[in-house]
Amino acid sequence: MSIGLLGGTFDPIHLGHLRAAENAREGFGLERVIFVPAARPPHRSEPLTPALDRYAMTCLAVASHPHFEVSDLELCRDGPSYTVDTLAALAALCGGAELLLLVGGDTFPEVCTWHQAQRIFELAVLGVVERPGDMSQPDAALAPGARVRRAHGPGLDVSATQVRERVGRGLSVRYLVPDGVADYIAKRRLYR
């Protein structure tokens, strides 16, 4: 059994995330994809939205997909949300399942700079999901020692930054995020 882990701030989660997860599920033959919202991402500024709101939006976004689920592992842990810690916890919970850390082609070159990168490569296969506009580069040059697989499929050129900016300008985000997420953003008056 193979399980995909898709982490991120999900501030907010959008259809591009979901399409990438589906491309990974199909391309890698994953039993399930676990979405893990980061509580305190170590490689970027603090998210605009509280962790519980981002977790709730992620739950709403994946609720109708039988192979997608959300984990609160990083929300329940103190300190920075290091991927290596999440992978170690999932490895213990998933008892022998092959773990694939799902990353976009844009993030893949950065993985070698992450906290305990070599341990990440021991715990999981890197599942690189190509995004629109990604340029293919040699895997060995970008992540020495990593086991790398690539998945291709139709991608959606959507970013959380675009979604936040549209909301901030009073524009619709329908068809950029799932309907439940759009409703949640409106009801909670997020990104205004």
2-156 belongs to which homologous superfamily? HUPs (3.40.50.620)
pLDDT at 136: 58
Confidence at 158, pLDDT banded by 50, 70, 90: very high
Q: Where are the alpha helices (DSSP H) in 29-151?
A: 51-62, 83-93, 117-123, 139-142
Rounded to 10 degrees, the C-alpha dihedral 117/62/18/75 comes to: -30
Domain chopping of the chain, boundaries? 2-156
pLDDT at 45: 75
Backbone CA torsion sign across 63, 154, 41, 109: positive
3-state secondary structure at position 34:
strand
Measured CA angle at 160 (ends 154, 166), to 5 deg? 110
Residue 68 pLDDT > 90, yes or no? yes
Name the amino acid, one letter, at 47. P
Q: Which tops the pLDDT comparison, 94 or 124? A: 124
Q: What is the mean pLDDT of the chain?
A: 91
Confidence at 150, pLDDT banded by 50, 70, 90: very high
pLDDT at 43: 74
Residue 126 pLDDT > 90, yes or no? yes
